[in-house]
Amino acid sequence: MILTRLAQLDALALEKAPARRAVVVASHEEHILKAASLSRKKGIVSPVLIGNAKKTEELLRGLGESPGDYAIVPCDGDAECVEVAVELVKKREADFIIKGLIETADLMRPLLNKEKGIVKPGACVSSIALIESAKYHKLFAMTDMGINTFPDLERKKQIINNAVWFMRRMGAEKPKVAVLSSVEHVNPKQEDTVEADALKKLCLSGDIPDCIVEGPISLDLAVKKETAAVKRYDSPVAGDADILMVPNILAGNLLIKGMGIFGDISTADAVLGFDVPVVFGSRGGPVEAKCLSIALCALIS
C-alpha cells in the first residue's frame, strides 16, 4: 500500500501492527498521556507508562481514564525511567519508545551509550518526518532535522540509507532523494554542494542503493516541476522528490518549523537507528501530531 494521506496511518498500523507495546518514558505529562490513551483506544498501542506513578494516575483520571487499564512502572528520576525503558527494549518487551516529560539530551544520552544503549550495530541515528502538504502532490519525508548537527559525508550517506529504508516501508519502491542546497551547481567554496554531488555519485555507483539521489538541488527545484522546467533542470527528482535531505540541523530545524508555522502541513515523526523507533516530537506540539507519530512508529517497529 502506498500512503497518500497521513490519516491512513491508523488503519495501516491496525492492519499490520495492532497493539504494539509502546513505552512512555517520564509519563507524568498530560499531552503525551492523552496521545497514548487515544492511540490505545484505537487499538494501535498497549502503553507501558514509566514515571511518577502518583502524578501519572492523577493525569489519567483527569483524562477520564482508569489507571487500572494501564501498565504503570513507578520511577521517580529521569535516569531511572530511561534505564527501565532500555531494559524492556533489550528484553524485547517494548516495540518502540515515546518521549514524555524528559529533556531530549537526558533521553538520548543513555540510548546512545556504546555499552548500555540500544543503537543498532553500525547504525546511524537520525530523525525523519513524514509530511503532508496541501501544496504538494504526495507525502514526502524530511531528514535530518533533530539529531545530527553537522553530519559529514559518511554520516549523510547513512542518513539517506535510513530515509530510504523508511520510505520504502511507506510504499515508495525507489525513493527520489533531493540533497538540498541553496543552489543547484557545485561550488568548491560551499561544502554542502560538494558533498551533495558526492552523494549523487555514490548512488550512481551503487553505494547508496534502492533510490535516486539528486544534488545539489534547491528546494524549489525539488518540489516544483514548473520551476525545474523554467530553469531547464533535467532530473527525475525535480518536482517529484520523496525525501528532502537538509545539509545540517540548523537548516532542517528552520525549514520544518517554518513550514509548520506559515504553511499548511501535518507531520508524523520518528527517530531511526535504534533497536526500536522513538517518538520524539515537541511537547508543545498538537496531540494529533503525537498520535500520528505513534501510529507511524507502531507501523515501522
**Residues 288 and 245 reside in one and the same domain:** no
- Is residue 192 reached through a cis peptide bond, with omega within 30 degrees of 0 on the bond before it? no
Examine the domain organization and report whether 240 and 166 are in the same domain. yes
Amino acid at 244: L
234 in the same domain as 108: no
- For residues 104 and 155, membership in a common domain is answered with no
Q: Grid coordinates in use for 103?
A: 529533556
Asked if 88 and 23 count as a contact pair (C-beta separation under 8 A), the reply is yes
Res 232: pLDDT: 93
The answer as to whether 196 is a domain residue is: yes
> Which residues form the domain of 81?
8-119+274-300
For position 140, which CATH number holds? 3.40.718.10
Q: What is the mean pLDDT of residues 240-257?
A: 96
Q: What is the DSSP letter of 91?
A: T
Task: State residue 284's pLDDT score.
Answer: 66
Whole-model pTM: value is: 0.95
CA dist., res. 246 & res. 140, Å (int): 13
- In the predicted model, what is the mean pLDDT of the chain? 95
- Specify if 2 maps to a domain: no
- What are φ and ψ of residue 133, in 5° steps? -130, 135
- Collect all residues with Cβ–Cβ distance below 8 Å to 210 and sequence separation of at least 6: 164, 168, 174, 175
**Tens-digit pLDDT profile for residues 45-61:** 999 999 999 999 999 99
User: What integer is the mean pLDDT of 17-43?
Assistant: 95
Secondary structure element (H or E) that encloses residue 23, with its range: strand 20-25
Strand 126-133 relative to strand 140-143: parallel, antiparallel, unpaired? antiparallel
Question: Does 179 lie in the same domain as 88?
Answer: no
Residues 104 and 138 in one domain: no
DSSP-H helix ranges across 29-136: 30-41, 53-62, 78-90, 104-112
Distance of CA 79 to the CA centre of its chain: 23
89 in a structural domain: yes
* CB count in 10 Å sphere of residue 297: 29
For residue 147 the three cell numbers come to: 539529531
Do residue 57 and residue 102 come from a single domain? Answer: yes
Split into its structural domains, the chain has a count of: 2
pLDDT exceeds 90 at position 153: yes
pLDDT average, residue stretch 107-136: 94
For residue 283, pLDDT beyond 70: no
Grid cell in block for residue 48? 507501558
Q: Are residues 150 and 205 in the same domain?
A: yes
The answer to whether residues 69 and 179 belong to one domain is: no
